[in-house]
Amino acid sequence: MDEIAAKVLVIGGGPAGYVCAIRAGQLGLETVLVEQAEFGGTCLNVGCIPSKALIHVADAFHAAQGHAGSGAFGLSVGSASLDFAKTIAWKDSIVGRLTGGVKSLLKKSSVRIVEGRATIEDGKTCIVSTSRGDMRIRAEHLVLATGSEPAALSALPFGGSVLSSTDVLTLTAVPQHLVVVGAGYIGLELGTAFAKMGAQVTVVEAAERILPAWDEELTRPVAKRLGSLGVEVRTANFAQGLTDDGSTLTVKHVNGDVSLLAADNILVAVGRKPRTQGFGLERLDLAFDGPFVAIDRRCATSMRHVWAIGDLTGEPMLAHRAMAQGKLVAEVIAGQRREFDHRAIATICFTDPEIVTVGLLPEQAKASNVSVATARFPFAANGRALTQGDELGFIRVVTRADNDLVLGIQAVGAGVSELAAGFALALEMGATVEDIAGTIHAHPTRSEAFQEAALGASGYALHI
């Protein structure tokens, strides 16, 4: 058996793992990265990137359809059509470009890439099964970055017409009727996209409302848009399983009523779970936090020189959190003093309209036993939103009432994901409402609503 040694061994080539490996290589650490599938992980291959590509196509197609007749501003075009096979090919080409880019970046940073399935022997050794045989890798530091996978329902195991969020991205045609089980961000992002591409979509959610993990005020514009798109939403309903012929989903309402939903495909989007099985993790003496590997503020596990990053370590399961953790761990291994601060991580829901939240929500801020003030500015009073024909939503700031320190920023509206970095920067820099209100925001842009919300928090809103 071939054997190699390194300073750092990273298992998993997703956003957490490849960023950790790149940064470790930049810092002069001899680094090996093991990946059994495609580089870029879930986000790049079957998550963030391909889903956003489909969302873009869906938005463009829906907009074109909306202009088939004379619209409010005088534009009219012919009937739109969609070649879904070309859509998938275009999506795949983007994924291919980016995965190739990850490999190039790893090589540029002198990271040794081993493609194969890793099995952990102990905290410093793993065996990798490659196409050329087995290889033993020994390292001083082991970094676990194995990511997550779609969570299944026992009543609806994946297979046949029952799809995971990974499976639905490989469809070769838009289904006539798609049932989405789960009204979280994954289910609503994909469900909205397919509705815009022509599918009849029904959403089944066990909770009393959509996006139950999100602030209710932020989700109302999304619910309104779903209605305008013709998406049927059934809350307080539980998926019971398929009928014998596999073509119909049985759904039970919390009051006991049972109904049947015929569907070409059923997307089960009830969350994700950490990938902890199949690579020998049980051989390590690690502490767990529920299903997740427990870590401290340096992403260190309960074993010396064993680190864990990304989805394996818990919520929020976000690629940018994973990348930040990967960079941090490489720098800690290199001897730098670093700790992970999660307070300024933006969470984004790419629904229609989009939702962004950074820092504390109003109820969370109130629970911290400080006096809290909130102010919001609607896009209905924003010139840029009006000229784009989409005024749904608002921006809201949450502050300490005693010193005007910004504790949280939230937004819902078209394109607000692009404002997330500015929101995060305000939290990271410890901004007060005066800092935001005193920053001249360009006109006409949606970002002005951020300044106007801060002005409102200061007590003198100008444009409302």
Question: For 131-203, where are the alpha helices, taking DSSP H only?
Answer: 185-196
What would the mean pLDDT of 390-408 be, rounded to a whole number? 96
Q: What is the pLDDT of residues 135-145, one digit of tens each?
A: 999 999 999 99
Task: Name the pLDDT band for 78 (thresholds 50, 70, 90).
Answer: confident
Residue 70 pLDDT > 80:
no
Residue 202 is which amino acid? Answer: T
CA–CA distance, 265 with 462 (Å, rounded to integer): 50
What would the mean pLDDT of 169-178 be, rounded to a whole number? 95
Q: In angstroms, how far is the first alpha carbon of the chain from the final one? A: 72
Measured in residues, the chain has a length of 464
Whose CA is closest to 102, among 56, 148, 49, 141? Answer: 49
* Full-model pTM: 0.95
- Beta bridge partners, 354, equal 413
Whose CA is closest to 34, among 138, 122, 151? Answer: 138
Q: Which of 71-80, 162-171, 367-376, 417-426 is least confident?
A: 71-80
Task: Name the pLDDT band for 79 (thresholds 50, 70, 90).
Answer: confident
pLDDT for 323 equals 98
- Tokens 């838009």, located at residue: 174
Percent of the chain's residues with pLDDT above 90 = 92
Residue 232 pLDDT > 80:
yes
Residue 355 pLDDT > 90:
yes
What would the mean pLDDT of 45-66 be, rounded to a whole number? 94
pLDDT for 32 equals 98
Residue 209 is which amino acid? Answer: R
CA–CA distance, 234 with 378 (Å, rounded to integer): 28
| DSSP structure string for 270-303 | S-EEE--SSSSGGGS---EETTEEP--TT-B-SS
Report the catalytic residues.
Answer: 443
What would the mean pLDDT of 43-61 be, rounded to a whole number? 95
Whose CA is closest to 424, among 343, 349, 361, 365? Answer: 343
Task: Name the pLDDT band for 430 (thresholds 50, 70, 90).
Answer: very high
What would the mean pLDDT of 270-275 be, rounded to a whole number? 97
Who's near 314: CB < 8 A, 6+ residues apart? 274, 289, 290, 292
Residue 68 pLDDT > 80:
no
Q: Which of 53-62, 245-254, 440-449 is least confident?
A: 245-254
Task: Name the pLDDT band for 73 (thresholds 50, 70, 90).
Answer: confident
Percent of the chain's residues with pLDDT above 70 = 100
Whose CA is closest to 203, among 273, 151, 269, 271? Answer: 269
Residue 271 pLDDT > 80:
yes
Domains of the chain: 2-150+274-333 (3.50.50.60), 162-270 (3.50.50.60), 347-458 (3.30.390.30)
pLDDT for 109 equals 97
Who's near 4: CB < 8 A, 6+ residues apart? 32, 112, 135, 136, 137, 138
Whose CA is closest to 198, among 228, 230, 171? Answer: 230
Residue 341 is which amino acid? Answer: D
